[in-house]
Amino acid sequence: MSGDETQGFPGLGERLAAVREGIADACRRASRDPDGVTLIVVTKFHPASLVSALAELGVRDVGENRHQEAQAKAEELAALDLRWHFVGQLQTKKARQAARYASAIHSIDRERLVDALADGERVIDAFVQINLTDEPGRGGVEPPGIEALAERVLEAPSLRLRGVMAVAPLDEAPERAFERLAGYSERVRALEPEASAISAGMTHDYAEAIAAGATHLRIGSAITGKRPDPR
């Protein structure tokens, strides 16, 4: 655990182990199989060396929210066989490039973005991001638009619709927000039964997300420690 790779990051292995334990506990309380939950470690703003230290500790799924940073890290660490999850706002003009290194894009929030990704060179996983706040423009499609956007993804040859994604609002109990998300997930599953994934749960609300059925957790600071300021 304190091999060369993790030396520069004191406590990283312990924090990862604590989060894995926390996930196992939450699964027990929810009577869920932990194998049904994928941990994505969000490494944004941290150096590629931290990502390789995580890989050394057995992490395979990593999340990033800015294209240029993600692309640079994915290139540098191409030998590591990691799955890169893009979780941030994605500009339409950067979409095709992101699809080259990303295995999954969790932030599909508009039809133009789907169109930009529709004819890529390989098939990648797509999550429809849903806005759980009352404020339009907070990231994510508004709930009435879920079906149209999901249908668009289903028609895109190089996208595989996996399910829904959301960030819990700051001003609401996460339990309530994730309950709504579970309902939106059912609406997507009514269109495509295999699109049953729910990407939800971050450092402060992953236990609530597991209780509400989350299948993909996006956890950053609980594992990586405090984020450096973005460059």
3-state secondary structure 88-126: CCCCHHHHHHHHHHEEEEEEECCHHHHHHHCCCCCCEEE
Q: Which residue has the tokens 């996208």?
A: 159
Query: Based on CB atoms, which residue is closest to ligand PLP, 44 or 152?
Result: 44
Instruction: Give the Cα separation of 185 and 198 in Å (integer).
Output: 7
| Coil, strand or helix at 60 | coil
Nearer to ligand PLP, 70 or 219 (CB): 219
Q: Using the minimum distance from each CB to ligand PLP, give the nearer residue, 42 or 124.
A: 42
Site for ligand PLP in 190-219 (CB under 6 A): 202-203, 218-219
Cα 44–chain centre separation? 12
Q: How far is the CB of 11 from ligand PLP (least distance, A)?
A: 15
DSSP letter, residue 145: G
Distance of closest approach, residue 229 Cβ to ligand PLP, in angstroms: 14
Q: How far is the CB of 119 from ligand PLP (least distance, A)?
A: 26
Judged by CB under 6 A, the chain residues 108 through 167 that form the site for ligand PLP are 167
Residues in a beta bridge with 218: 40
Q: Does 42 bind ligand PLP (CB under 6 A)?
A: yes
- Residues in the site for ligand PLP, rule: CB under 6 A? 42, 44, 65, 87-88, 167, 202-203, 218-222
